[in-house]
Amino acid sequence: MAKPVYQAINRHSPNQSVIVFVPSRKLSRITAIDILTFAAAEQKQDRFLHISTAEIEPFTNELEDQTLKETVLRGVAYLHEGLSHKDRTIVEELYTAGALQVCIVSRSMLWTLNLFSYLVIIMDTQYYNGQDHTYDDYPINDVLQMIGRANRPLKEVDAKVVLMCLSSKK
């Protein structure tokens, strides 16, 4: 489902900030790599980075997660509950400053997140429930909280949300 996410970014927010909500920690990392792969296929591997590589390297050298370091150097970051506090703080500061265009966030980080964007993409409306071994729908409060992140006060007067789900859920 990363290809439709990349296409939505190109269509709705080619130069403005984007938050992508994904169901799991693993999917946040995979989606970041896939988005950069699609950009590299179009010969635009640095299109999501809004400052020079020399300016961002001092920050990336402080990151502990090697994959995160590589994706941040290209303008795409991800946040999940497994990241260290230091990595999370660096990513949030770079994103808020406008250096990074895309931030992929796992659903479990939703209520502790303090980021806003022009475009929010909700990549799925279900998560895996390990206790029952089933896929459960997101609570409506979670979806509304995700939608509420599409708002940057004093920067823009409008915002967009793209909700991706199974066709049977429409």
Contact between residue 35 and residue 2 where contact means Cβ atoms under 8 Å apart: yes
Q: How high is the pLDDT of residue 45?
A: 86
Task: List for the chain the helix, strand, coil content (%; round to 5).
Answer: 45, 20, 40
pTM above 0.75, yes or no: yes
Which residues touch 141 (CB under 8 Å, ≥6 apart)? none
Report pLDDT for 170: 66
What is the tally of structural domains in the chain? 1
What CATH number does the domain containing 142 carry?
Answer: 3.40.50.300
pLDDT, averaged per 10 consecutive residues of the chain (170 residues), comes to: 92 93 94 96 92 94 95 96 95 95 94 93 89 90 92 82 81
Cβ–Cβ < 8 Å for 137, 23: no
For residue 57, what are the domain limits?
Answer: 2-169
